[in-house]
Structure formats: C-alpha cells, structure tokens
Amino acid sequence: MGVASDRDIWRKAGALITRFGRHAPVYAMHSIGLCIERSDCAGAAEWRRVWRAIEALLETAAPPHKLH
C-alpha cells in the first residue's frame, strides 16, 4: 500500500461527510482506533489525515440558514 495523495485524502473526506454528515469525524476517529489496535501505523496515519481534512471541511462549511 502506498501513501495516499492529498487529492485522495480530500476526496475521501468529502465522501465521508456526504455519507455521515457531522458524524464523519467520529467515523474517522473510530477507523484510527481500529488501525492502532491492528498495529497498522500507516493506516492510522492515513486516517488521521482524513480526519484533519474532514475537520477543515466542516469548519469552513456555511452554517444552515434560519427560515423565519
């Protein structure tokens, strides 16, 4: 397994946000934990990159508009 490109990380982060919404960081953190349990350092590092990308995307997302 090679190192994922930045493009792949951001694509994966976007897909997880589409699927899990605001719960996407929880999914990524769970995946990090699973990799650590399996002693998969490279997998954990990749999931950390995905988690950081998810956090960045959610932080820059526009808040929902209130309807009056």
Calpha distance 51→13 (Å, rounded): 7
Number of CB atoms found within 10 A of residue 50's CB: 24
Residue 9 structure tokens: 């990380």
Find out whether 57 and 22 touch, Cβ atoms under 8 Å.
Answer: no
The answer to whether position 66 is within a domain reads: no
In a domain, 31, yes or no: yes
Q: Assess whether pLDDT exceeds 60 at residue 17.
A: yes
Domains identified in the chain, total number? 1
Examine residue 38 and state whether it is found in any structural domain, yes or no. Answer: yes
Give the pLDDT confidence of 41-60 residue by residue, as tens digits.
999 999 999 999 999 999 98
pLDDT in tens, 19-30: 999 999 999 999
37 found inside a domain: yes
User: Contact 16/54 with Cβ under 8 angstroms?
Assistant: yes
d(CA 27, CA 8): 17
26 is written with which tokens? 């929880």
Asked if the structure places residue 47 within a domain, the reply is: yes
Would 67 be classed as within a structural domain? Answer: no
